[in-house]
């Protein structure tokens, strides 16, 4: 079995339910196997929450405990739902519904409308802003473009918080809303907007949820039909649930408790849309018997990035901050975050573009670099700077990959070649799949070298190049794959919105970067007035801005660059200062770092219903201390070694090298990366302690029971200077 067979893009489907659990850490495994009763997963950034919940669904399906058609997994974006469907497909759990709240509700509304209401369902409008403009005209209220957008947002907020027009003024005041116009005017516009919708027989996206809720509340027979169909629910990003979505979820559930929710209060960044972390934080109150699992092992970011992220939250205040999770990096050390001050915004953009050009020239893929900013208006300066530096880029939030015209045309061409390839002169001299795809796409504009500059021509080439790259990965993972197989793979990916990687630096707002990650992240414009944004006035608004920066920091896997400028334009007054959120964290700054510790540790709490009262059980964890100097250890690598990185090592170099050679053989035999057998730090810990028996070996962090059973005999043989072959024969 070759390593290519285990490509991360095209992994082999696990051959059993137990195989689905392989590679999960103890907390993730607890999530995956907790299939009964309510489960709440508090998952920090980069801790593998999507992995945990998709493996939970797949394990339940593969073990025969869950019927695929009875599971409904809901999240908040089409991209996230598509990714979930793609992962479930790779785990052999086809047939599970993974949708957004709106998509699931719309499907039910379309199906039940004739029975519940009768006749045809009203037309769904994609954008409500024109209807709001018509309402303003009818009220003789003049709104500029910004006010029109903001009033539309107020109407959306009112609907997801289930606020009717007459109640808007009081609700807005109670919520501390910064309203773009007088609250009475907005209430009037909202009322007329609703009248116009009725007169034109149209509904908006919020109506989809409201109408579905109304039908399920009023028609018990329909509600029971839905509950008979869906018996197990998984909700991702639960901190972003609005009151309306929570009500819909409660109606789906009925009086059952087969619910798993996943979220992180420290990543609540959409409260302006009505999202609230209260449902996540109050889950244990509503479900006293719930199992609560905390994921804090950060597999995404280096200890240096994680240290900054933890430092940001250590200064936070409020309810979400009280429930923050202290991340523990599981990665090797990397470079410290870089901090740069520029004279003005164009200089900042040019500086970022210059450094990005250097990274790409040093073989860092452009697709693994992102520039993140607070507002979309900042994008143009960076687009120009990257174009001037000859760096390809893509705008996050642009048209979905499989909806692009060039991708649709390429799909048609590939499908035709798959059917009639024997009569296609382009394919006469090519035999392998990647060559066939390159030959077909050359007729659509793909060339071996990218076009110069940026713009539409470059973007089309990048789309086709992504398909060529995908074909290479597909062929490497599936020997003997045909062009027809590749077309079928594209169709499945299009249905799941599982897009391939486009080679270009990503430009994105911090809000749209949620859920994504890159090797290198540039956080730009991190200055007062932009971060926090100038209109964040209340303590709650400022804390949400802090959480937004935390989300940006935790997008970086290896390298993080933070920058700000003193003036907006060349020659402007240098009146800006770095964001207050960086005080005490960036080199040379002063300020209190806040609570250096005290975030929730990872672990499991199981609720037990005893006479209606929950009895939580916590896993007890004593602080890990360096066995040389006695300092408390927090870094995952240091905890494995049970000593500080700077303290002297007494490692047996000979045993360490024999362990590395043995690990390489095991990894080759199983088709896994080396670290899946044991990490370097675990091997170092073994070589330092040289265990003599199973109890001593089991006490080393990084040697769980499963690995002790698999590899214990061989490891102990190496430590004792014996041949591993002899122990293998005895086993």
For 54-72, the DSSP string reads HHHHHHHHHTTSS-GGGEE
Which CATH number applies to 17-109+212-295: 3.30.2290.10, 3.40.50.300, 2.40.10.120, 3.20.20.370? 3.40.50.300
630 in helix, strand or coil?
Answer: coil
Position 609 pLDDT exceeds 60: no
pLDDT of residue 1: 26
Range with the poorest average pLDDT among 61-65, 107-111, 139-143, 174-178: 174-178
The mean pLDDT value for 617-622 works out to: 39
| Alpha-carbon gap, residue 273 to 88, rounded angstroms | 30
Distances in Å between the Cα of 237 and the Cα atoms of 73, 75, 280, 296, 547 are: 11, 6, 9, 16, 15
For every residue of 177-230, DSSP letters joined together read ---SS-HHHHHHHHHHHHHHHHHHTEE-HHHHHHHHHHHHHH-HHHHHHHHHH-
| Alpha-carbon gap, residue 626 to 638, rounded angstroms | 8
Q: Of 81-95, 360-374, 381-395, 598-612, where does the model show the most confidence?
A: 360-374
Q: Which residue has the tokens 């009725």?
A: 198
For residues 671 and 60, the model is more confident at: 60
Position 245 pLDDT exceeds 50: yes
| Alpha-carbon gap, residue 335 to 299, rounded angstroms | 16
Position 544 pLDDT exceeds 50: yes
Note the pLDDT tens digit of each residue in 499-527: 666 678 999 999 989 889 999 999 999 99
Which CATH number applies to 636-720: 1.10.1780.10, 1.20.140.150, 2.40.33.20, 1.10.150.80? 1.10.150.80
Note the pLDDT tens digit of each residue in 63-89: 899 999 999 999 988 888 888 888 898
pLDDT of residue 4: 31
For every residue of 442-477, DSSP letters joined together read HTTT--SSPPSS-SHHHHHHHHHHHHHHHHHHHHHH
Those residues whose C-beta lies under 8 Å from the C-beta of residue 610, and which sit 6 or more positions away, are none
74 in helix, strand or coil?
Answer: strand
546 in helix, strand or coil?
Answer: helix
609 in helix, strand or coil?
Answer: strand
Note the pLDDT tens digit of each residue in 707-722: 888 889 999 999 888 8
431 in helix, strand or coil?
Answer: coil
Question: What residues form DSSP beta bridges with 562?
Answer: 339, 523
pLDDT-derived band of residue 425, with 50, 70 and 90 as boundaries?
A: low
Distances in Å between the Cα of 532 and the Cα atoms of 84, 153, 239, 339, 642 are: 33, 20, 21, 17, 40
Distances in Å between the Cα of 298 and the Cα atoms of 46, 281, 722 are: 5, 21, 37
Range with the poorest average pLDDT among 95-104, 185-194, 600-609: 600-609
Q: What letter does residue 620 receive in the DSSP assignment?
A: P
pLDDT-derived band of residue 579, with 50, 70 and 90 as boundaries?
A: very high
pLDDT of residue 323: 87
Mean of the per-residue pLDDT values of the chain: 84
* Angle, vertex CA 677, rays to CA 671 and CA 683, nearest 5: 140
Q: Torsion angle of alpha carbons 218, 223, 225, 227, nearest 10°?
A: 180
Note the pLDDT tens digit of each residue in 335-345: 999 999 999 99
Alpha helices in 117-160 (DSSP H): 129-138, 145-160
Position 620 pLDDT exceeds 80: no
Which CATH number applies to 338-399+503-582: 3.90.1150.10, 3.20.20.10, 3.40.50.300, 3.40.50.11390? 3.40.50.300
Question: What residues form DSSP beta bridges with 556?
Answer: 518
Q: Where in the chain is the domain with CATH 1.10.150.80?
A: 636-720
Q: Do 177 and 169 touch, CB atoms closer than 8 A?
A: no
Q: Do 308 and 584 touch, CB atoms closer than 8 A?
A: no
Note the pLDDT tens digit of each residue in 679-691: 878 888 898 889 8
For residues 400 and 642, the model is more confident at: 642
pLDDT of residue 7: 43
pLDDT of residue 638: 66
Q: Where in the chain is the domain with CATH 1.10.10?
A: 126-203
User: Is the preceding omega at residue 727 within 30 degrees of 0, hence cis?
Assistant: no
Position 497 pLDDT exceeds 80: no
Range with the poorest average pLDDT among 3-7, 258-262, 322-326: 3-7
Q: Does the pTM exceed 0.85? A: no
The mean pLDDT value for 557-562 works out to: 96
167 in helix, strand or coil?
Answer: helix
Q: Do 548 and 511 touch, CB atoms closer than 8 A?
A: yes
Note the pLDDT tens digit of each residue in 635-682: 556 666 777 766 777 778 889 889 988 898 887 877 666 777 888 788
pLDDT of residue 211: 93
Q: Torsion angle of alpha carbons 365, 367, 372, 376, nearest 10°?
A: 140
Distances in Å between the Cα of 448 and the Cα atoms of 190, 412, 414, 441, 468 are: 54, 21, 18, 11, 10
Range with the poorest average pLDDT among 170-179, 462-471, 489-498: 489-498
Position 90 pLDDT exceeds 70: yes
| Alpha-carbon gap, residue 569 to 471, rounded angstroms | 45
pLDDT of residue 38: 93
pLDDT of residue 531: 92
Q: Do 626 and 641 touch, CB atoms closer than 8 A?
A: no
Question: Between β-strands 556-567 and 338-344, what pairing exists: parallel, antiparallel or unpaired?
Answer: parallel
Position 594 pLDDT exceeds 80: no
Per the annotation, where are the binding residues? 43-50
Q: Do 508 and 372 touch, CB atoms closer than 8 A?
A: yes
The mean pLDDT value for 476-481 works out to: 81
Write out the two tokens for 397. 């939030």
Q: Do 560 and 338 touch, CB atoms closer than 8 A?
A: yes
Give the start-end residues of each E strand in 107-161.
123-124
For residues 429 and 88, the model is more confident at: 88
Position 613 pLDDT exceeds 70: no
Which region holds residue 318: left if phi is over 0, alpha if psi is between -120 and 50, else beta? left
Per the annotation, where are the binding residues for ATP? 43-50
CATH domain 126-203 topology: Arc Repressor Mutant, subunit A (1.10.10)
For residues 45 and 446, the model is more confident at: 45
| Alpha-carbon gap, residue 426 to 489, rounded angstroms | 22
Q: Where in the chain is the domain with CATH 3.40.50.300?
A: 17-109+212-295, 338-399+503-582
pLDDT-derived band of residue 582, with 50, 70 and 90 as boundaries?
A: very high
What percent of the chain is modeled with pLDDT above 90?
40
pLDDT of residue 196: 94
Note the pLDDT tens digit of each residue in 175-219: 878 788 899 999 999 999 999 999 999 999 899 999 999 999 999
Burial class (CB in 10 A: 0-12, 13-18, 19+), 38: buried
The mean pLDDT value for 30-35 works out to: 92
pLDDT-derived band of residue 568, with 50, 70 and 90 as boundaries?
A: confident
pLDDT of residue 615: 37
Range with the poorest average pLDDT among 143-147, 278-282, 662-666: 143-147
């Amino acid at each position: 079995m070759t390593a290519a067979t285990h490509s991360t893009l095209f992994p082999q489907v696990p051959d059993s339910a137990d195989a689905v659990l392989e590679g999960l850490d103890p907390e993730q495994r607890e999530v995956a196997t907790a299939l009964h009763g309510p489960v709440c997963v508090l998952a920090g950034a980069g801790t593998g929450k999507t992995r945990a919940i998709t493996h939970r669904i797949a394990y339940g399906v593969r073990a025969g405990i869950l019927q695929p058609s009875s599971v409904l997994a809901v999240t908040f974006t089409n991209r996230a739902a598509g990714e979930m469907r793609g992962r479930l497909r790779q785990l052999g759990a086809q047939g599970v519904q993974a949708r957004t709240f709106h998509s699931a509700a719309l499907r039910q509304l379309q199906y039940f409308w004739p029975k519940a209401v009768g006749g045809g369902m009203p037309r769904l409008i994609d954008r409500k802003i024109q209807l709001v403009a018509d309402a303003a005209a009818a009220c003789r209220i003049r709104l500029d473009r910004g006010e029109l957008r903001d009033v539309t947002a107020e109407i959306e907020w009112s609907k997801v918080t289930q606020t009717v027009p007459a109640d808007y003024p009081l609700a807005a005041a109670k919520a501390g809303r910064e309203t773009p116009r007088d609250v009475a005017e907005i209430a009037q516009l909202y009322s007329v907007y609703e009248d116009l919708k009725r007169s034109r027989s149209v509904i908006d996206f919020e109506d989809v949820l409201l109408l579905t809720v109304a039908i399920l509340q009023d028609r018990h027979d329909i509600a029971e039909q839905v509950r008979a169909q869906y018996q197990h629910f998984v909700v991702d990003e639960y901190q972003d649930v609005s009151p309306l979505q929570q009500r819909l979820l409660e109606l789906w559930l009925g009086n059952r408790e087969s619910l798993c929710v996943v979220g992180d209060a420290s990543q609540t960044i959409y409260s302006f849309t009505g999202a609230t972390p209260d449902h996540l934080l109050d889950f244990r109150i509503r479900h006293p018997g719930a199992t609560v699992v905390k994921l804090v092992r950060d597999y995404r970011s280096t200890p240096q990035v994680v240290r900054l992220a933890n430092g940001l939250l250590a200064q936070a205040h409020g309810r979400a901050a009280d429930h923050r999770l202290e991340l523990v990096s599981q990665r090797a050390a990397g470079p410290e975050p870089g901090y740069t001050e520029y004279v003005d915004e164009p200089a900042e953009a040019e500086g970022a573009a210059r450094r990005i050009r250097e990274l790409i020239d040093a073989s860092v893929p452009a697709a693994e670099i992102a520039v993140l900013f607070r507002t979309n208006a900042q994008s143009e300066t960076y687009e120009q700077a990257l174009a001037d530096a000859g760096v390809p880029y893509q705008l996050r939030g642009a048209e979905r990959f499989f909806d692009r015209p060039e991708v649709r045309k390429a799909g048609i061409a590939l499908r035709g070649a798959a059917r009639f390839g024997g009569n296609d002169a382009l394919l006469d001299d090519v035999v392998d799949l990647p060559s066939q795809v390159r030959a077909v796409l050359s007729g659509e504009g793909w060339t071996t070298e990218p076009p110069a500059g940026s713009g539409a021509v470059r973007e089309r080439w990048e789309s086709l190049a992504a398909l060529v790259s995908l074909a290479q990965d597909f062929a490497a993972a599936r020997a003997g794959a045909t062009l027809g197989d590749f077309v079928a793979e594209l169709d499945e990916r299009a249905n799941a919105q599982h897009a391939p990687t486009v080679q270009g630096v990503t430009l994105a707002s911090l809000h749209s970067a949620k859920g994504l990650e890159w090797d290198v992240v540039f956080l730009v414009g991190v200055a007062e007035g932009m971060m926090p944004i100038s209109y964040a006035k209340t303590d709650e608004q400022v804390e949400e801005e802090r959480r937004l920066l935390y989300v940006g920091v935790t997008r970086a896997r290896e390298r993080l660059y933070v920058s700000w400028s003193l003036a907006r334009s060349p020659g402007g007054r240098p009146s800006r200062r770095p964001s207050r959120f960086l005080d005490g964290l960036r080199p040379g700054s002063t300020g209190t770092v806040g609570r250096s510790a005290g975030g929730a540790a990872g672990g499991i709490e199981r609720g037990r219903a005893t006479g209606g009262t929950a009895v939580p059980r916590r896993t007890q964890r004593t602080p890990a201390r360096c066995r040389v100097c006695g300092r408390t250890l927090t870094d995952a690598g240091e905890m494995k070694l049970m000593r500080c990185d700077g303290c002297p090592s007494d490692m047996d170099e000979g045993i360490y090298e024999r362990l590395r050679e043995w690990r390489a053989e095991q990894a080759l035999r199983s088709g896994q990366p080396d670290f899946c057998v044991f990490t370097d730090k675990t091997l170092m810990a073994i070589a330092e302690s040289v265990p003599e028996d199973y109890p001593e070996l089991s006490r080393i962090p990084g040697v769980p029971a499963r690995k002790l059973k698999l590899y214990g005999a061989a490891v102990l043989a190496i430590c004792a200077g014996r041949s591993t072959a002899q122990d293998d024969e005895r086993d």
